A and B are shown apart, each in its own frame.
Chain A
Amino acid sequence: MTTEVSSETEVKEKAEESAAQLDQPEKATEETQEEVITEGEEKEKEEKEKEKEEKEKEGKEGKGISKFLPTWLKKPKSQAQEAPPSEEAISAGQQEGEGPVPEVNGHTEEVEEKETVKSEQVKETEAESHSNASADTEPAKEESAEKSPERSQETKEEQVEEKEGKEGGLRGGGGGVEGQTSIFQSPLRLVRKAKMKLVVCQVALLDGTDFTCEVEKRAKGQYLFFKVCEHLNLLEKDYFGLTYKDNHEQKCWLDPMKEIKRQIRSNNWQFSFNVKFYPPDPSLLSEDITRYLLCLQLREDVATGRLPCSFVTHALLGSYTLQAEFGDYDPDQPRPLDYINQLNIAPSQNREMEEKIFELHKSHRGMTPAQADTQFLENAKKLSMYGVDLHPAKDSEGVDLMLGVCANGLLVYKDRLRINRFAWPKILKISYKRNNFYIKIRPGETEQFESTVGFKLQNHRSAKKLWKVCVENHSFYRLNAPEPPTKARFLTLGSKFRYSGRTQAQTRLASSLIDRPSPTFERTSSKRISRSVDGAPMISITDVERDTAENGREHRLDLHSDSKINAPSAEAAAADCTSSDTKEPTKTADVEIEETIVVQEVSKATQPALVTVAVDSPAIPPAKQETREQEVKVQEEAVVPKEAATAKQESVSSESESEDEAEYHPNVSASTHMPEVKEEEEEEDKVEEDKMADENMSAPVVASLPVEITKAAEDVCKKEEESKREEGQGGVKRNAEKEMEVGRESEESTEEPMMTPEEVPNGVALAEDAVIGLVGHAEKQEPKMNGETLLVEPRPQVICCSEPPVVKTEMVTISDTFAAQKTEIATKEVPIVHTETKTITYEAAQLDGNGDGEPGVLMTAQTITSESLCTTTTTHITKTLKGGLSETRIEKRIVITGDCDIDHDQALAQAIKEAKEQHPDMSVTRVVVHKETELAEEED
C-alpha cells in the first residue's frame, strides 16, 4: 500500500502539472512543445486538451459525429493501452501494445498522469492491470467519465489526422499519422505549475449530440449547467437540469449548488441535459427554443414509453414532429417514408402507426416548425403522465406501487391505476428515514388528526432521492420564491437540502423580461443516435467501460487498498460477523440513522440554557494526513465495511448532506421554529410513540447495531470527503465534530447536569462511529440507563437497546415527536474501528440542574438537520412544560469536518459564538468537545 500511496501522490503532482497546462492550453501550445518530457503521456495530454478545445469549437459549429471525434483523438495516441480486442479498427500493432500492460509501474504512472485528462485507454489499462494497481483508483474513476461516443475507429483516425494537421505547427510539421503513432516516442513535458485541475465533461444533449466542455475539477454543478445552457442558447433554463448516473445506474439530478466532483460517482463526468420541471402550460414559455427543447425531451419520453400515450396520440405527436422537422408533407418526396422507420416515435411503432402519422402530417400543411412544436406540446401536456416522475415503492404491506411526483403533488399508482393522490397543499411534511418515505397529511374537513402515510423505497438512496425530488418539485411549482438557505438560521427544519433554483413563478417573471430576438436554432432530426431508455448515450465502448470502471472495478480497487490499510479491523470485524463482506460494498445498507438532539425551551425558566459543543477530531495518523482520495476511501471502507456501505457511497462521492433522514415541511416556512402542536395532537403523538417504544424495546434488540454507529460512520466518510475538499483550500478544518446544546431561559441559568460520553453506560466508545451517537444520545438517555438526570424525562421516548456484535455499546435512542412512524431502529453487523475518544466538557455553573427529577410534560420536540459544505448541524428542540414553566432546550451538534491541522479551539469558539449570536436570549451552558482518534493499525 505504501508504495502505491506514494505513487498516487506523484500522480497528483503530475496531474497538477498537466492541469496547469490546461489552464492556458492555447498559449501554451507552442512553448510546451519544445519542452521535451521523458514521459510520453504528457504530450498526449496536451494533445488531448487541444483536441478537446477543438471539439468544443466543433460542437458549436457542427453537429453530430464530428463533435464526438475529438475526444477520441487521445485514443489513437496511446494505442498501447487501449485496443479492446473487439475493436476491429485497431491495428494489430496497437493491440500488441497491450503486451506491456502487466508492467504495473509503468502503467500506473500512465494512468495517473491522465488524471485530469481522462481517456478511455486508461480505463482499459486499469481493467487489465487492476489486480495489482490499486493506486489507480482515482484515475480510474476519472477515466470512466470519459465515455466518448465511439464512432468507427477510422473516422477517429481521420479526424486525428485532420487535427494534427491543424496543429502541425506544434508538431514541427509532424503529420497526423505521426501524432498517432509517435506519441510515445516524442513525449513533451510541461513545466507549468498547476493552477486548477480541469476535467472534461460530456453532456448528452436532447438532440442526441454531445456537448463537451472543460470545467474546473471543483466546479459546482451550476457552472457546467450554465455552460450547457450557453451552448444551447437557452435562457429559460430553470425548467432544465443535468443528470448523472450514480454507481447504481440510477439517474440523479446534479445539484447546481454543489461541486460536481462530489456528486458524481466514479468520477464519471458524463451528464445528460434534461427537462427537470415540465411546464404545466408550455404555451406560457417565452421562447421557441425552450419549447423546442421541451419537445425533444418529450419525444424521447414518448418514444421510450416513459410518457405513455395511446396509438392516436402517438400518431398525432409523431405527425407534429414530422411537420416540425420536415415541414409540409411532400408526397413526391419519398424520403420521409423511409425515414419514418428510423424515426423513433413510439415504443411499439408499426406500419399502421406510420401511415396514420403521414395521414395526420398531411393535415398540418403550412404549419411552421414552431407552431408544430406548440401543437405537439399542447397535446403532450394533457397526457396524464406528463411531468410525472415515477419512483417505485411499496406500501406497508409490501404491495408494489409507483409514487409519482409532479407539479400538483404526489400521486400513488398501483400498476397503471391511480390509487391515491396527495396534492401539495394537503401535505404538511415530507420526510424520509432510511428507506422509508413519509408524508404527513393535513387533516381533512371531517378528520381531526393529521395522518402520516409511509412508503418503503428500495433503499435509503431511493428514499432520499424521492424526498429531494419532492422538495424540489414543491418548491418549484408551489412557492413564489425558494426557501432561503437554512444554514443562515439556527433553527430550521429538515435537511439542508432545498431547491436552489428559481421557482416557476420566478422563472415566468424572468421569461417575461427576456428581450432578445428569437434565437435561431437548427432543429435536428428525431433520427438521432439511439439512446438507452433513460437517455444516456448508448455507445458500445461506453458500456464496456462503465462496467469495468464504474462499478465493479473501482470498488475492487478501493477495497483492495482498504483492506491493506485497515486489514486488522476489517478482519476483526469479519471474524465477529462473518457476513461482513468488504468486497461487496454495494449492498443495501440497513442503516439506521436517527438524529436525536434534545432541545428544551424555557419561557419562564429556572433552567439554565446550555450549549454543548462537542468537537471531535479523529487524529488521523500522520501518514494519512496527506490523504489522497484513495486513502480516504480506505478509511471509509474500514469504518463501514458492510452495513453502511451504501450510505458511505452516498456521502463520500457526492452530496455533503448524507443524512439518512430529513424532513421538509412544504407548507411551513423554513423559519418556523417551534411547531405549534395542539394538545390533542400531542396526545396522539405520545400514544404513537409509546406504542413505538414498545415495539422498539422488544423487537430490534436482536443483535442489531445501533443506528448511530452507522450514521457516524457515514459522518466520518463525510469528514473524509470534506478533508479532501479542503485540501485544496488550505484545509481550514480537520475532522472535528462539535456538539452544541443551547438552552434558552428567560431568567437565570442554573447548572445543567450533563453527561459526557464517558459516563454513558455504553462504556466502550471504541468505535469511532459511535461518537456521534454517543454524544448525541448521552444527553438524552433515560435515567434508568445511567442514573443521570434527564433533560427531558417526561417526554415520550422510544428506546432502543441493541448490541452490536463487537462494539459493546448500548444505544439509547429517543425519538422525536415525528418519529412515531419511524419504527425501525436496528442495523446489524458493526464494523470495528479502533478509536480513542476524548471528551472534554465545559459547563457553565448551574444552579439546580434539571436533575430535580421533576418530570416535565413534553410540549414539542423536533429535530432539525442542516448541512453546509463542511459542517453538519443537527438541532433538536424540545419544549417541555415543567412545573408551570415552559422550557425550551436547544441542543445543537455541529460536526465540523476538515483537515487535521484545524484549529479546534478556534472552531469551537466560532461555533459558540455563532450559537450565541443566533440565540441572544439564550445562554450557553455546556460545551462538549469530543475528540476522536483513530488508532492506527496497532492491532496488527
Chain B
Amino acid sequence: MASRIADFGRYTHAIVRGIPASLAKEALRSCPSEVDVVQARREHEKYQEILRTTFGLEVVELPADESLPDCVFVEDAAVVCGDTALITRPGAESRRGETKAMKEALEALNMNVVEMTDENATLDGGDVLFTGQEFFVGLSKRTNQRGAEILADVFKDYAVSTVPVQQGLHLKSFCSMGGPGLILVGSSEPAQKALKIMQQMSDHRYDKLVVPDDLAANCIYVNLPDKGHMLLHSTAEMFPESLKVLEQLKDYTLIAASNKEKTKVDGALTCCSVLINKKANM
C-alpha cells in the first residue's frame, strides 16, 4: 500500500506445488491432449530454479497431491496482495481441495489469510490481474460476480473492476503485467476487447504491448533491486513471433522458460506460482 508502484514486481517468496502423475490424464483441459508428465516435471523444475536463483525468491514447494491433478497451478488457489491472501473458491469443483495446502502455506508465512466461504462465489486466481494500482477480475467460466465482490471486499484499498472473459480459460490466459503500468496482451479480438474494457474502467493509464499469441502474453514480471526489470516468458520455440515483440522492451532482462507440457492443460507461466512480497508487509 505504502508505495505501490515502486514495489510492483518485488517479491520475496514464491509458493509452488509439485506435479502429480494424475495431471497427465485427469487434469482439466480445454482441448484433448497428451501430456508428458516427466517432461512437465522437468519444465517445472526449471521454472522453480529460475524463481529461486534468478529471481532470488524463497520458494516454498508444496507436495503434489494425486487426488488433485491440477494442483500444480497454485495461482488459482490464492490471490495475494500485500500481506493479505485471499484463499479462493476455484470454479472447478475438482480443484476446491487445492486451497487447503495453500492456506496452510500462507498462514505459515504469517500472511493475513482470508477465505472465500460463500458457496455462491467462485474465483480462480488466474482471472485476477493485479496491476499494482487496481484489480481486474475476469468473469469467466471459473469466476463469477460474487467471487469478484468478495475479492473487492478483501482488498478494499483497490478498485476492482470486472472484465468479461469471452475466450480462453482465464483473464490471464491472454494478458499479464509486463511491468509497472504495462499490460502485455494477446492480439486476438477477445483479448483486445478485454484490454479496451480494462483501459476504460481504469483511472490509470496503462501502456500495452501486444504480442501475436495470446498465451505468450502471460509472463511473469519481476523487479529486482539489483537487476531491474526481469520478464519470464515462454520460449521462442513456442512463440517466436511474440518473443520478437517482447524483445522490444528496453532495459528488460528476458528469461525464457519452456512451458510446453503445462500449456496442454491450460497452464500458463503465472499459473504455477504464487508470488509474495513479505518485505512490503508491515
Q: Is the pair A311, B112 in contact by a Cβ cutoff of 8 Å? A: yes
Instruction: Say if the beta carbon of B38 comes within 8 Å of chain A.
Output: no
Q: Is the pair B203, A421 in contact by a Cβ cutoff of 8 Å? A: yes
Partner of A418, one of B83, B196, B201: B201
Q: Find residues 378-418 in chain A having any chain B CB closer than 8 Å to their own CB.
A: 379, 382-385, 406, 408, 414-418
CA distance in complex: A406, B202 (Å): 13
Q: Is the pair A384, B159 in contact by a Cβ cutoff of 8 Å? A: yes
Q: Is the pair B1, A310 in contact by a Cβ cutoff of 8 Å? A: yes
> Which single residue of chain A is at the shortest CB-CB distance from B82?
A312
> Which B residues are in CB contact (< 8 Å) with A313?
1, 156-157
> Which A residues are in CB contact (< 8 Å) with B157?
308-310, 313, 382-384
Q: Is the pair A382, B4 in contact by a Cβ cutoff of 8 Å? A: yes
Instruction: Say if the beta carbon of A360 comes within 8 Å of chain B.
Output: yes
> Which A residues are in CB contact (< 8 Å) with B239?
none
Shortest CB-to-CB span from A238 to chain B, Å, is 22
Q: Find residues 102-149 in chain B having any chain A CB closer than 8 Å to their own CB.
A: 112, 133-134, 137, 145, 148-149
Q: Find residues 417-455 in chain A having any chain B CB closer than 8 Å to their own CB.
A: 417-421, 423, 444
Shortest CB-to-CB span from A374 to chain B, Å, is 13
Instruction: Say if the beta carbon of A316 comes within 8 Å of chain B.
Output: yes
CA distance in complex: A790, B182 (Å): 59
> Which A residues are in CB contact (< 8 Å) with B159?
384-385, 418
Q: Is the pair A310, B155 in contact by a Cβ cutoff of 8 Å? A: yes
Q: Is the pair A418, B161 in contact by a Cβ cutoff of 8 Å? A: yes
Q: Is the pair A416, B201 in contact by a Cβ cutoff of 8 Å? A: no
Partner of A420, one of B152, B196, B201, B282: B201
CA distance in complex: A792, B212 (Å): 55
> Which single residue of chain B is at the shortest CB-CB distance from A426?
B200
> Which A residues are in CB contact (< 8 Å) with B158?
384
Q: Find residues 309-327 in chain A having any chain B CB closer than 8 Å to their own CB.
A: 309-313, 315-316
Q: Find residues 466-492 in chain A having any chain B CB closer than 8 Å to their own CB.
A: none
Shortest CB-to-CB span from B174 to chain A, Å, is 19
> Which A residues are in CB contact (< 8 Å) with B4?
382
Shortest CB-to-CB span from A366 to chain B, Å, is 17
> Which A residues are in CB contact (< 8 Å) with B281?
312
Partner of B160, one of A315, A356, A382, A416: A416
Instruction: Say if the beta carbon of B84 comes within 8 Å of chain A.
Output: yes
Q: Is the pair B282, A316 in contact by a Cβ cutoff of 8 Å? A: yes
- Answer whether A421 and B202 are a contact pair too, CB < 8 Å, given A313-B157, A384-B158, A416-B160: yes
Q: Is the pair B156, A310 in contact by a Cβ cutoff of 8 Å? A: yes
> Which B residues are in CB contact (< 8 Å) with A382?
1, 4, 133, 157
CA distance in complex: A444, B1 (Å): 34
> Which B residues are in CB contact (< 8 Å) with A312?
1, 82-84, 112, 281-282
CA distance in complex: A312, B2 (Å): 10
> Which A residues are in CB contact (< 8 Å) with B84?
310-312
Q: Find residues 149-169 in chain B having any chain A CB closer than 8 Å to their own CB.
A: 149, 152-162
> Which A residues are in CB contact (< 8 Å) with B156?
308-310, 313, 416
> Which single residue of chain B is at the shortest CB-CB distance from A420?
B201
CA distance in complex: A308, B159 (Å): 11
> Which single residue of chain A is at the shortest CB-CB distance from B149?
A415
Q: B-facing mask of A333-361, CB < 8 A → 1, else 0?
A: 00000000000000000000000100110
Partner of B161, one of A356, A385, A417: A417
> Which B residues are in CB contact (< 8 Å) with A385?
159
Q: Is the pair A384, B1 in contact by a Cβ cutoff of 8 Å? A: no
- Answer whether A417 and B1 are a contact pair too, CB < 8 Å, given A308-B156, A383-B157: no
Q: Is the pair B134, A384 in contact by a Cβ cutoff of 8 Å? A: yes
Most chain B CB inside 10 Å of its own CB: which residue of A315, A379, A384: A384
> Which single residue of chain A is at the shortest CB-CB distance from B153?
A416
Q: Is the pair B160, A418 in contact by a Cβ cutoff of 8 Å? A: yes
CA distance in complex: A379, B82 (Å): 14
Shortest CB-to-CB span from A165 to chain B, Å, is 53
> Which B residues are in CB contact (< 8 Å) with A316?
1-2, 282
> Which B residues are in CB contact (< 8 Å) with A309?
156-157
> Which B residues are in CB contact (< 8 Å) with A356?
282
Partner of A419, one of B134, B155, B161, B202: B161
> Which A residues are in CB contact (< 8 Å) with B82?
310, 312
CA distance in complex: A356, B1 (Å): 15
Q: Is the pair B152, A415 in contact by a Cβ cutoff of 8 Å? A: yes
Q: Find residues 227-282 in chain B having any chain A CB closer than 8 Å to their own CB.
A: 281-282
Shortest CB-to-CB span from A411 to chain B, Å, is 8
Q: Is the pair A419, B162 in contact by a Cβ cutoff of 8 Å? A: yes
> Which B residues are in CB contact (< 8 Å) with A444?
196
> Which A residues are in CB contact (< 8 Å) with B112?
311-312
Q: Is the pair B1, A379 in contact by a Cβ cutoff of 8 Å? A: yes
Q: A-facing mask of B179-207, CB < 8 A → 1, else 0?
A: 00000000000000000100011110000
CA distance in complex: A681, B282 (Å): 56
Shortest CB-to-CB span from B171 to chain A, Å, is 14
> Which A residues are in CB contact (< 8 Å) with B202?
421
Q: Is the pair B155, A417 in contact by a Cβ cutoff of 8 Å? A: no
> Which A residues are in CB contact (< 8 Å) with B160?
384, 416-418
> Which B residues are in CB contact (< 8 Å) with A423?
200
> Which B residues are in CB contact (< 8 Å) with A360?
282
Q: Is the pair A421, B201 in contact by a Cβ cutoff of 8 Å? A: yes
> Which A residues are in CB contact (< 8 Å) with B145?
414, 417
Q: Find residues 568-627 in chain A having any chain B CB closer than 8 Å to their own CB.
A: none
> Which B residues are in CB contact (< 8 Å) with A308?
156-157
> Which B residues are in CB contact (< 8 Å) with A359?
282
> Which B residues are in CB contact (< 8 Å) with A315?
282
> Which single residue of chain B is at the shortest CB-CB distance from A360?
B282
Shortest CB-to-CB span from A690 to chain B, Å, is 31
> Which A residues are in CB contact (< 8 Å) with B137?
417
CA distance in complex: A359, B83 (Å): 16
Shortest CB-to-CB span from A212 to chain B, Å, is 37
Q: A-facing mask of B1-25, CB < 8 A → 1, else 0?
A: 1101000000000000000000000
CA distance in complex: A379, B1 (Å): 7
> Which single residue of chain A is at the shortest CB-CB distance from B197?
A420
Shortest CB-to-CB span from B135 to chain A, Å, is 9
Partner of B203, one of A311, A408, A420: A408
Most chain A CB inside 10 Å of its own CB: which residue of B83, B154, B202, B282: B282
> Which B residues are in CB contact (< 8 Å) with A384?
134, 157-160
Shortest CB-to-CB span from B261 to chain A, Å, is 36
Shortest CB-to-CB span from B197 to chain A, Å, is 9
> Which single residue of chain A is at the shortest CB-CB distance from B201?
A421
Most chain A CB inside 10 Å of its own CB: which residue of B83, B149, B157, B203: B157
Q: Is the pair B149, A421 in contact by a Cβ cutoff of 8 Å? A: no
> Which B residues are in CB contact (< 8 Å) with A408?
203
CA distance in complex: A359, B281 (Å): 13
> Which A residues are in CB contact (< 8 Å) with B196?
444
CA distance in complex: A308, B154 (Å): 11
Shortest CB-to-CB span from A382 to chain B, Å, is 6
> Which A residues are in CB contact (< 8 Å) with B2?
316, 379
Q: Find residues 282-316 in chain A having any chain B CB closer than 8 Å to their own CB.
A: 308-313, 315-316
Shortest CB-to-CB span from A380 to chain B, Å, is 10
Shortest CB-to-CB span from B2 to chain A, Å, is 7
- Answer whether A416 and B1 are a contact pair too, CB < 8 Å, given A421-B202, A421-B203: no
CA distance in complex: A709, B104 (Å): 68
Shortest CB-to-CB span from A404 to chain B, Å, is 10
> Which A residues are in CB contact (< 8 Å) with B154?
310
> Which single residue of chain A is at the shortest CB-CB distance from B148?
A417
Q: Is the pair B162, A421 in contact by a Cβ cutoff of 8 Å? A: no
**Minimum-distance CB pairs A-B, first 10:** A384-B159, A416-B152, A418-B161, A308-B156, A310-B156, A421-B201, A415-B149, A310-B157, A408-B203, A313-B157
Given contacts A316-B282, A384-B159, A416-B160, 18 further A-B pairs with CB under 8 A are A308-B156, A310-B1, A310-B155, A310-B157, A311-B112, A312-B83, A312-B84, A312-B281, A315-B282, A316-B2, A382-B133, A382-B157, A417-B137, A418-B160, A418-B162, A419-B162, A421-B161, A421-B202
A-B contact pairs, 10 of them (CB 8 A): A309-B156, A312-B84, A313-B156, A316-B1, A406-B203, A408-B203, A416-B160, A418-B201, A420-B200, A423-B200
